[in-house]
Chains A and B, each alone.
Chain A
Amino acid sequence: QVQLVQSGAEVKKPGASVKVSCKASGYTFTSHYMHWVRQAPGQGLEWMGIINPSGGSTTYAQKFQGRLTMTRDTSTSKVYMELSSLRSEDTAVYYCARDRALAPYYYDAMDVWGQGTTVTVSS
Chain B
Amino acid sequence: SYELTQPPSVSVSPGQTARITCSGDALPKQFAYWYQQKPGQAPMLVIYKDTERPSGIPERFSGSSSGTAVTLTISGVQTEDEADYYCQSPDSSGTYVIFGGGTKLTVL
Q: Is the interface on chain B under 10, 10 to 19, 20 to 34, or 35 or more residues?
A: 20 to 34
Partner of B97, one of A50, A95, A100, A114: A50
Given contacts A44-B86, A100-B48, whether A113 and B42 have CB atoms under 8 Å apart is: yes
Give the nearest-CB partner of A112 in chain B: B45
The complex places the Cα of A115 from the Cα of B44 at a distance, in Å, of 11
B-side contacts of A47, CB under 8 Å: 88, 96-99
For chain A, give the interface size range: 20 to 34
Type the 1/0 row for A34-64, where 1 means its CB is closer than 8 Å to any CB of B. 0101000000111100100000000101100
A45–B102 CB distance below 8 A: yes
Q: How far is the CA of A107 from the CA of B48 in the complex (A)?
A: 11
A residues near B (Cβ < 8 Å) are: 35, 37, 44-47, 50, 59, 61-62, 95, 97, 100, 107-111, 113-116
15 chain-A/chain-B pairs, Cβ below 8 angstroms: A37-B43, A44-B84, A44-B102, A45-B37, A45-B88, A45-B99, A47-B88, A50-B97, A59-B95, A59-B96, A61-B97, A97-B43, A109-B48, A110-B88, A111-B48
